[in-house]
Amino acid sequence: MVNSAYDPADGEVLAFEEQIGSHGGLGGAQSRPFLLSPLDLSAPAADHEELAGAEQVHHVLPRWLRELNGPEVPLTAATEEEQAA
């Protein structure tokens, strides 16, 4: 993932191309991220614990995949070939 700069003084998000806006460039609560998931999945963090940072979120997403009996990530070459067949 590549992110551009954000100027908190004027709220400007710098885009990489000529365009009117970019993700986050039209406003909104960008400093209050959240995870939205079905209630059937486990909570992203224990009660009174804070989930902070991409590394902690990365541990939640594979756990949710396991709870859903989803594929192991990253997929192996053999698994990708089997799915293509």
pLDDT tens-digit readout, 28-76 = 555 667 788 889 999 999 999 988 888 999 999 999 999 998 877 667 6
Is 55 in contact with 43 (CB distance < 8 Å)? Answer: no
Matching residue, tokens 């192996």:
76
In this prediction, residue 11 carries a pLDDT of 75
Higher per-residue confidence, 14 vs 39: 39
Q: Is the pTM of this model over 0.75?
A: no
Q: What was the pLDDT predicted at 43?
A: 93
Q: Average the pLDDT over 1-29 and give the result.
A: 66
Burial of 29 (0-12, 13-18, 19+ CB in 10 A): exposed
The answer to whether the CB of 17 falls within 8 A of the CB of 25 is no
**Alpha-carbon torsion, ordered 20, 26, 31, 32, to 10 deg:** -130
Tell me the C-alpha distance between 28 and 33, whole Å.
11
- Domain spans of the chain, in order of start: 1-32, 33-85
